[in-house]
Amino acid sequence: MSTDDRALQRWLKQWARSEKRWTWISVGAGIGIGLMLILQAHLLASVVNETLFADRLLDEQWPALWLLLAALLGRAALGVLREWAGQNSSIAIRRQLRGDLLHALSRLGPAYSSGQRSGALGSELLEQVEALDGFFSRYLPQMALAAMLPLVILAFVFPVNWAAGLIFLLTAPLVPVFMALVGTRAAEANRRNFSALSRLSAHFLDVVQGIVTLKLFDRSRDQADIIEREAEEFRQRTMQVLRLAFLSSAVLEFFASISIAVVAVYLGFSFLGHLDFGYWDTPVNLYQGLLILLLAPEFYQPLRELGTHYHSKQEAVAAAERLRSVLEADPVALPAEGAGVSAPIRELTIERARLQYPQQPEPVLRNVTLQLSQGRMVALVGPSGAGKSSLLQVMLGFRALDAGKILVNGMPLEQIGQSNWLRHVAWVSQHTSLFPGTLRENLLLADPGAADHVLYVALEQANALEFVQRLPKGLDTRVGEQGVGLSGGQIQRLALARAFLKDAPVLLLDEPTANLDRDSETKVLESLRRLCRGRMVLMLTHRRQSMLQADEVWYLDQGEVKLREADG
């Protein structure tokens, strides 16, 4: 096992500690099952021996038979308890892990999420977390049972026959050794399988989201072929993992069968008188031979089950690699909590801001200094890729600066805290997010307690009321994913209505009129003029009509800003 695999296994075991009581209940139930099996073997061997060699009738052995039935029922009940406890442990750990992953993504912020593929993140939160089930519910309890239960059986076998106990002791290590040899390849196969699944999930989601564009350019069939090839690749990798799992089981069954056969050969030759060793007082009799033969499969059974669940462990280790990287990723966003803002926001200053992405040789922001004041609109223009959106992410608290600072009423933004700061900010993006649901539900994201008449006022201020009233169900009209069923201008006016509802003192606009026709642009700009009154506004734009609304126009290029005339 590599050093990385050992580290990932330790990481998984740390998660298991939070629910260790369920794991130990499962282990205790497993040991109870082993004791019931020993009792069953003893009773069955005694009944057969007494019937054949002591001339006792079955009618005389009903107490032993009833006890045998009770042991059987107890074993079944303990089996249910063992499985139930293991599942409880797994469910609780996976629920906590999934919650921590969601919290980590929230802590890392949109800047981190935007650099990931949504389909891959969805696969990690669903399939890869689910892949840990077998590790927590079965492998961990079975690992403890594989170490303890054979010793319990040996404690009963050695007093009966030391040779049989010695055979058990010498052949037992063969099972885990070959299990580890086969499992090494299984771990690497699982990693490739999860990687293929993440790629397939991410690509499929991208295709679904862009299906309209693919249809327009007549490329949908090509993408269908690509998905088919990736799905076939994933199927082949899955079959490779299953092949290794079946190979592992076959190897374990083979060596366990060989070991049981060695015990059977020893007992057979002892009965025939060819071997005269291994017993303590008297030669091997029927009771001893039958007891040992009944316990032989059960001695290797915990090791065989561990081999069966070893595949679950390798699958979990492969899944844990990506999950751990998400949980331990360094946050790029500001801390969520802080002192907050007590006084009304009247001034926002960016001082000598510098920002550089890890994989880029040059900083995207070098020495940016900018000031926003209440009641004034500042427009920021510049070529694509100049860093305008990066500056907006910094102002939202989604990214922390490498150098420089942002001051709100003279207080550094990191001291205010991202959550407190976002309560004072309204953001209108060029890619407005509308979620499946009604228009009312989408608007209430800005103010969950707003009454209908407040919603109508906001819609009227955003020039959106006239088209909402024409919809069949008004505010109760359902919209599809990303606003399917509405035009770009309508979606943008709904975004402005949300900004009116929030009524925040700081307004950040990211190309609010991009991709709109002239009529929609006119209506959006008319709404913007109303929205910006008395607020502190920064607008990123390429459109001349939008620049003409601004009090100041700044040009951002090569990481620095300079003032330019509003009508320039």
In a 3-state reduction of DSSP, which class is residue 426? strand
Q: Looking at the predicted structure, is the pLDDT value of residue 566 above 50?
A: no
Distance between CA 211 and CA 117 in Å, rounded?
Answer: 17
pLDDT in tens, 148-187: 998 999 999 988 888 888 988 888 887 777 666 665 666 6
Q: Residue 17: what pLDDT?
A: 87
Mean pLDDT of 223-245: 79
Task: Quick: pLDDT tens for 299-332.
Answer: 888 887 887 777 778 778 878 888 888 888 777 7
Confidence label for 568 from pLDDT (cuts 50, 70 and 90): very low
Residue 43, classed as helix, strand or coil, is helix
User: How far is the CA of 515 from the CAs of 380, 384, 439, 487, in angstroms?
Assistant: 18, 15, 22, 11
Distance (Å, whole) CA 18 – CA 29: 20
Residue 565 pLDDT > 60, yes or no? Answer: no
pLDDT digits (tens, 9 = 90+) for 487-506: 777 888 888 888 888 888 88
Strand partners, 216: none
**pLDDT for residue 413:** 84
pLDDT band at 39 (very low <50, low <70, confident <90, very high): very high
Confidence of residue 33 (pLDDT cuts 50, 70, 90): very high
Report DSSP letters for 375-420, one per residue.
Answer: T-EEEEE--TTSSHHHHHHHHHTSS--SEEEEEETTEEHHHH-HHH
* Neighbouring residues of 548: CB distance < 8 A, sequence distance ≥ 6: 566, 567
84-102 pLDDT, tens digit each: 999 999 999 999 998 888 8
Tell me: pLDDT of 357 over 70: yes
Three-class DSSP category at 466: helix
- Both tokens of 178, joined, read 């070959």
Rounded to whole angstroms, the Cα distance separating 406 from 394 reads 9
Residue 2 has pLDDT above 70, yes or no: no
**Averaged pLDDT score across all residues of the chain:** 81
Phi, psi torsion values for 533, nearest 5 degrees: -60, 125
Query: Which residues, 6 or more positions from 370, have their beta carbon under 8 angstroms from its beta carbon?
Result: 349, 350, 378, 380, 538, 554, 561
Q: What is the CA radius of gyration of the chain?
A: 35
Q: Does residue 519 have a pLDDT over 50?
A: yes
- Tell me: pLDDT of 194 over 70: no
Residue 268 clears pLDDT 80, i.e. is over it:
yes
Residue 169 tokens read as: 């002791």
Question: How would residue 554 be classed by pLDDT, with cut points 50, 70 and 90?
Answer: confident
The two tokens of residue 417 are 């805290």
Helix axes 62-108, 3-17, angle to 10 degrees: 110
* Cα–Cα distance, 276 to 263 (Å, whole number): 14
What pLDDT does residue 180 have?
A: 65
Q: What is the structure's pLDDT at 239?
A: 79
Residue 527 CB-half CA count within 13 A: 30
Please name the residues in contact with 114: beta carbons below 8 A apart, sequence gap of 6 or more.
none
Q: Name the band, by pLDDT with cuts 50, 70 and 90, for residue 36.
A: very high
SS3 299: helix
Tell me the pLDDT band of 113, cut-offs 50, 70 and 90. Answer: confident
Q: Which amino acid is at 6?
A: R
Judged against a pLDDT cut of 80, whether residue 342 lies above it is answered with: no
Confidence of residue 298 (pLDDT cuts 50, 70, 90): confident
Long-range interactions of 67-75: CB distance < 8 A, separation 24+: 67/39, 67/43, 68/40, 68/43, 68/44, 71/36, 71/39, 71/40, 71/43, 72/36, 72/40, 74/32, 74/36, 75/33, 75/36, 75/37, 75/40
List the structure tokens of 447: 């103010």
Please tell me the distance from the alpha carbon of residue 210 to that of residue 482, in angstroms, as a whole number: 11
- Tokens 């500001």 belong to residue: 334
The CA-based dihedral angle spanning residues 513, 518, 523, 525, taken in that order and rounded to the nearest 10 degrees: 40
